[in-house]
Structure 1
Amino acid sequence: MLRHWTESIGGLLVLAYFLATLPPSLGSDKADQEAIQQAKSLSRAFRAASQKVLPTVVKVQTASSPQKAGSKQSENRNPLDDFFGGPDPGFRFQIPRPEMGLGSGVIIDGGGIILTNRHVIEEADIITIQLSDGREFAVVDKKTDDKTDIAVLKIEPAEPLPTATLGDSDQLEIGDWVLAVGNPFELEGTVSAGIISAKGRTLNTIGRTRLIQTDAAINPGNSGGALANLDGEVVGINTAIFSRTGRNEGIGFAIPINLAKWIADELLHHGRVRRAYLGVALEQVLAPSAAYQQNGTPKGVVVRQVFKDTPAQRAGLKRNDLITAFDGVPVSEMSALQELVERAPIDQAHRVAIIRDGEALEIEVKLEEMPDEAALQAHEPVEDEDAGATPRRKTYDKSLGLMLMDFDAELASGLGVRVSEGVAVIHADRNKPGAEAGLQAGMVIVRAGDQPVKDLGDWQRILEQNQDAPELPLEVVSRAGRQILVLKRPK
């Protein structure tokens, strides 16, 4: 019996030793469990936010008038007619069918007010809203703003509808989790997750609007839907994707909800968007001159022209003033200043911080409502009081996507280059020939082809001479030194 007891003790000791020497991965791994719990917590946050937003996102269905019967662009034709005769090949009969469209929208008022994109409904003759529970309503009124691609729709429900909680898009930070909610490819109530990839993006197709960029999947049909944070608050209206295929490639854009809400309020209360204006032509700071130096390198927007009979002239703004803040909010980009001004209350005094001849000043400006385009064009520029100053010429080449300006010795020190003449690049549009060639703001073009470029006159002349050439070599100078770039001309 003693022997049996001794053998049992020995077996237990061997078992204990075996358990003690097991690899950590075979034991209870506390770190793995904590990671799993964190993932589950994030999953619960996604779930809660989705459940809060989904009932407030609607399907927007549109129908527009068909093309007239007898159109030469008919799609309803027999392809064998090309081989065996048949109807006149230059004239095709067609069966009139309505053009159908699909998008998304967000309920912002329980009485039947819906926020969506203008491009979703702009061509529509009939607009139908389908709620998340399947009920359908005809749109009885619509109002749109072409400058921001925002539209407001009105339906008449018998009872209050679930309403989205609107967040504060100004509080978003790069890296924040967001959910895109909409109806891509007619797949109703689809939710995708991603992060805020960037803020303040601008697209040529949507004016000056500063957009939110996200990698949450946005596809056709998502337009007008919600971009929401993890609290289930709508922080943006999905509006566009950057894609070579027409499908999601991880780059989507949304209109910040703070801007969308302001646009909606204007449309609902005034039937139009009342925008304030200063009455100036602006320019990004390309090279800080001595006139702007004040406590280090300045950040702001340069006033390149003041127009007569405008709030700016009445307030005393002058050409070459550097605007650094508006109502206490620092500005370093033109689009940011323009957005602040346009959304500011009309017929009220506002503070504009400037630097003039190295001195920091604050000017009070009483803003007015922006007139229509024709009236804006009729404003004449204020004559320059400095007779010795000649404004630098500036031009925008839409086909190349380049904003260019005459370059001279005064700008050379600010840019850190050792040339005294040429053409400076102020801005290069993405995905246009200029940017694709490698041109960037701050570069100076000093040679094109085999000819020197001393100013914009030379540049325009050389472009005309080489208009049939598919490529044009450029010699450019920047802080990085000299380099040769190849500009491919648009076909």
Structure 2
Amino acid sequence: REIMATLVGADPRSDVAVIQLAETDNLVPAKLGNSDEMEVGDWVLAMGSPFGLEMTVTAGIISAKGRGPGINDREDYLQTDAAINPGNSGGPLINIKGEVIGINTAISSRSGGYDGIGFTIPINMANFSVNQIVDHGSVKRAFLGVGIQPLDRQLRDALEVEATHGVAIINIQPESPAEKSGLKTGDLILEFNGQKVDSPRKLQGIVEVLQPEKAYPMTVLRSGKKETIDVTLGEMPDDYSLSSFNRNEPEAEESPQETTQEELAGLGIEVQDLNAEFAEQLGLNVKEGVVITSVDEEGPAASAGLSPGIVIAQVGSQKVNTVEELKKALEDKSLDNGIALLVKSRSGNRYVVIKN
């Protein structure tokens, strides 16, 4: 049976669209489940038309949650080993109750066919986009305006914090809700609106479904102390991209100017103060910090992935604008425990942990 349909609206960020059928006689709507309740190991069925073979059903389990293979702008996929092939996209993933808990969207494969790894848009995520399109004609998301990094064990130890979860702020977009609320790079976000934050995707998922222009409480860890900050979220611009604002826009690439350098033998690097002229020569849109001019290939900094031209902006949560400030900030740090440096490069900001 073929039914004509018209496009109501689409959300490219999540790869979800809404269509309206021209006729609905003798059609039974599928029952939707709660994708948040699915656990790793739960049995599922995938339906679709792989390679044009209509009404094909395959079985498997939920292999993982919260996957982001880099296919779309908004990803928090369920991973399944139920066979998904070209032609399955848009088909439902169903739980053992017969409820739709996801929309099959992609596979990870070297052959182009089924290799045991498929990805599904959680139905709760899809429902948010659908409701927004039906109610507003487009998807309105809230945004905070921060670049964040997972708080893994190595970074947690280097920052000397006891938090068991959270994300570290590595960048703040100018004029964003985050900047207006007083958030700082180096702050650790532990909770948002009463929900625990344990990954960047979790924070993104919490924030985006909230109401723009409304204030919400956020719990942060700053300099070892918990603080609660009220943040008034903004409406995400259509051209908003976290990766684009986190980049330190490269200019023309030239050789660094000759200036006095100082060696930090323990880290295996040579550094110097950063000024506007030097930053321009390096092609960095960075105004403050200490620039690395040389790296010992056998030193701990090289092992951590540091290279000449990278700017050290903070030691932990402490800003450093000169070599002297950097040396002072490093005085009570130990390579045995790890030293957390917030660094800036053309590709963006990130925390790097240097250890022996």
Q: TM-score, normalised by structure 2?
A: 0.68
* SS of structure 1 residue aligned to 2:130: helix
Aligned length: 271
Match in the other structure for 1:420: 267
Match in the other structure for 1:280: 146
Correspondence for 2:297 among 429, 444, 447: 447
Matched ranges for 1:402-421 at <5 A: 420-421=267-268
Q: Distance in 2 between matches of 1:223 and 1:201?
A: 17
**Which runs of 5 or more residues in structure 1 are unaligned?**
1-133, 382-392, 397-417, 423-444, 460-476, 480-491
Structure showing greater relative contact order (alpha-carbon pairs closer than 8 Å, 6 or more residues apart): 2
Cα-to-partner distance string for 1:78-137 (whole Å, 9 max, x where unaligned): xxxxxxxxxxxxxxxxxxxxxxxxxxxxxxxxxxxxxxxxxxxxxxxxxxxxxxxx2x12
Q: Distance in 2 between matches of 1:301 and 1:266?
A: 28
What's the offset of the Cα at 1:324? Answer: 0.9
Match in the other structure for 2:207: 341
1:181 aligns with 2:181: no
* SS of structure 1 residue aligned to 2:156: coil
Matched ranges for 1:237-386 at <5 A: 237-285=103-151, 287-288=155-156, 293=161, 296-373=162-239
Q: Distance in 2 between matches of 1:257 and 1:190?
A: 20
Q: Distance in 1 between matches of 2:159 and 2:103?
A: 42
Correspondence for 1:229 among 75, 85, 95: 95
What's the offset of the Cα at 1:290? Answer: 7.0
Cα-to-partner distance string for 1:25-68 (whole Å, 9 max, x where unaligned): xxxxxxxxxxxxxxxxxxxxxxxxxxxxxxxxxxxxxxxxxxxx
2:156 is aligned with what amino acid? P
1:257 is aligned with what amino acid? I
Matched ranges for 1:465-484 at <5 A: none
What's the offset of the Cα at 1:372? Answer: 3.0
Match in the other structure for 1:483: none
Judging changes above 3 Å, is the alpha-carbon distance between structure 1 residues 205 and 171 closer, same or farther for their aligned structure 2 residues?
same
1:204 is aligned with what amino acid? G
Match in the other structure for 2:340: none
What's the offset of the Cα at 1:288? Answer: 2.3
Match in the other structure for 1:212: 78
Judging changes above 3 Å, is the alpha-carbon distance between structure 1 residues 218 and 290 closer, same or farther for their aligned structure 2 residues?
closer
1:457 aligns with 2:308: yes
1:170 is aligned with what amino acid? D
What's the offset of the Cα at 1:200? Answer: 0.6
Q: Is the 8 A contact 1:274 1:369 kept in 2?
A: yes
Cα-to-partner distance string for 1:362-384 (whole Å, 9 max, x where unaligned): 111121211232799998x9xxx
Q: Is the 8 A contact 2:93 2:104 kept in 1?
A: yes
Q: Is the 8 A contact 1:181 1:189 kept in 2?
A: yes
Q: Distance in 2 between matches of 1:288 and 1:250?
A: 34
Write 1 or 2 for the structure with the bigger share of helix. Answer: 1
Q: Distance in 2 between matches of 1:354 and 1:241?
A: 37
Correspondence for 1:157 among 4, 23, 31: 23
Cα-to-partner distance string for 1:210-269 (whole Å, 9 max, x where unaligned): 110111011111100000100000000000111111111111110000001111111121
What's the offset of the Cα at 1:339? Answer: 1.7
Judging changes above 3 Å, is the alpha-carbon distance between structure 1 residues 230 and 420 closer, same or farther for their aligned structure 2 residues?
same
Q: Is the 8 A contact 1:137 1:157 kept in 2?
A: yes
Percent identity over paired residues: 41
What's the offset of the Cα at 1:185? Answer: 1.7
Q: Distance in 1 between matches of 2:197 and 2:51?
A: 40
Match in the other structure for 1:201: 67
What's the offset of the Cα at 1:315? Answer: 2.0
Judging changes above 3 Å, is the alpha-carbon distance between structure 1 residues 277 and 162 closer, same or farther for their aligned structure 2 residues?
same
What's the offset of the Cα at 1:154? Answer: 1.5
CA RMSD of aligned residues (A): 3.5
Q: Distance in 2 between matches of 1:290 and 1:181?
A: 47
Greater C-alpha radius of gyration: 1
What's the offset of the Cα at 1:395? Answer: 10
